[in-house]
């Protein structure tokens, strides 16, 4: 990837405002995500993290502001895709057919579609589960299929909405490590919502902290923290705890 490519953001959001009914929940959020960048959005529950993610993806229209995810004339990929908190696989489709969901509607032949589904399944280590029904898989395996489904469309931006929060601690750790490894093999930039600050520092290049300046006011970006640690073996790095604390401090002030 050339330097010119990295200069153009794959996601550019300006002045996002979100609300329910009369209340404004989030206001004046700016966010630029660059190619292959990993941005984590953290904040207390109820601050509007998941809602912001939906606005960034276009699943929800913001009250104000613009989101731009430039996507060329590609007819065999999508601008973005999403991994949800619950895997939300379609129980009536076999694993492979679930992964093919986003490929239906792209300009791909049946064989290409099949191949494009098996690749990400292999990436998450579930190739041999392709013809199984989702309910025969464990929660962790189902979430892996959810990740494969999102990767299959070769998105420029991959949104992840607290994807590991519903998993047990051991499975969560394993999937976190898999995601770190996966980043070497995907072109996608990742926008990752979590309430777990350690997870954010472990995975992200940039941590965006959402919070309120004062009680009763809409939330906004209160801090942006660049994680300056090598991508591998972060958890064991001597500065890991310090960086987690720095983000915690930013949340604590708001």
Partner 1 sequence: MSRSKRTLLSLCGLAGFLGLWELALRSGLLPGSLVPLPSMIPGVLWAEIADGIWLEVVTASLSHYAVGVLIGSLLGIAVGVAAALLPRFNAVHAWLARLLRPIPPLAWIPFAIIWFGINPSAAAFIISIGVFWINYFASHSAVRSVDPGYDEVARAFGHTGFMSRLTRVSLPAAAPGILGGLRAGLGQGWMTVVAAELFGIPGIGQRMMEASSLLATDIVVVYMLTIAGLYALFDFVFVSLQRRLLRWQP
> Are 213 and 222 contacting, i.e. CB atoms less than 8 angstroms apart?
yes
Choosing from 8, 59, 64, 122, the residue that interacts with partner 1 (CB under 8 A) is 59
Choosing from 149, 154, 156, 172, the residue that interacts with partner 1 (CB under 8 A) is 149
Q: Minimal distance in Å, beta carbon 85 to partner 1?
A: 10
> Are 120 and 102 contacting, i.e. CB atoms less than 8 angstroms apart?
no
CA distance 122 to 98: 14
Is 81 among the residues that bind partner 1 (CB under 8 A)?
A: yes
Among 38-46, 85-93, 172-180, 228-236, which window interacts with partner 1 (CB under 8 A)? 85-93
How many residues belong to the site for partner 1 (CB under 8 A)?
23
Is 224 among the residues that bind partner 1 (CB under 8 A)?
A: no
Q: Minimal distance in Å, beta carbon 144 to partner 1?
A: 16
Query: What residues contact residue 136 under an 8 Å CB cut-off, 6+ apart?
Result: none
Burial class (CB in 10 A: 0-12, 13-18, 19+), 184: exposed
Is 84 among the residues that bind partner 1 (CB under 8 A)?
A: yes
User: What does the DSSP assignment read for 135-199?
Assistant: GGS-HHHHHHHHHHHHHHT--SEEEEESTTTTS-HHHHHHHHHHHHHHGGG---EEEEE-S-HHH
Specify the residue, 88 or 114, whose C-beta has the smaller distance to partner 1. 88
Q: Minimal distance in Å, beta carbon 154 to partner 1?
A: 13
Q: Site mask, partner 1, residues 88-127, x = CB under 8 A?
A: x-xxxxx------xx-xxx---------------------
Which conformational region is residue 15 in: left (phi greater than 0), alpha (psi within -120 to 50 degrees), or beta? left
Specify the residue, 30 or 119, whose C-beta has the smaller distance to partner 1. 119
CA distance 178 to 7: 28
Q: Minimal distance in Å, beta carbon 72 to partner 1?
A: 16
Is 153 among the residues that bind partner 1 (CB under 8 A)?
A: yes
Query: What residues contact residue 54 under an 8 Å CB cut-off, 6+ apart?
Result: 60
* Binding positions for partner 1, rule: CB under 8 A: 57, 59, 78, 81-82, 84, 86, 88, 90-94, 101-102, 104-106, 133-135, 149, 153
């Amino acid at each position: 990837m050339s330097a010119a490519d990295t200069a153009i953001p794959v996601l550019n959001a300006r002045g996002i405002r979100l609300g329910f009914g009369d209340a404004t929940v989030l206001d004046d959020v700016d966010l630029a995500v660059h190619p292959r960048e990993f941005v984590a959005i953290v904040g207390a529950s109820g601050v509007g993290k998941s809602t912001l993610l939906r606005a960034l993806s276009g699943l929800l229209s913001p009250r104000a502001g613009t989101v731009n995810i430039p996507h060329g004339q590609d007819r065999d990929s999508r601008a973005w895709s999403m991994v949800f908190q619950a895997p939300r696989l379609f129980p009536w489709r076999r694993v492979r057919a679930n992964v093919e969901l986003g490929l239906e509607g792209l300009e791909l032949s049946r064989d290409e579609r099949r191949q494009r589904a098996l690749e990400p399944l292999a990436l998450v280590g579930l190739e041999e589960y392709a013809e199984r029904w989702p309910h025969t898989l464990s929660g962790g395996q189902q979430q892996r299929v959810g990740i494969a489904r999102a990767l299959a469309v070769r998105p420029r931006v991959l949104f992840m909405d607290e994807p590991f929060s519903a998993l047990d601690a051991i499975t969560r750790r394993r999937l976190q490590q898999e995601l770190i490894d996966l980043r070497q093999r995907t072109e996608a930039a990742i926008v990752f919502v979590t309430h777990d600050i350690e997870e954010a520092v472990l995975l992200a290049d940039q941590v965006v902290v959402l919070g309120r300046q004062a009680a009763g006011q809409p939330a906004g970006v209160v801090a942006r923290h660049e994680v300056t640690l090598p991508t591998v073996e972060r958890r064991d790095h001597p500065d890991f705890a310090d960086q987690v604390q720095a983000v915690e401090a930013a949340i604590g002030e708001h």
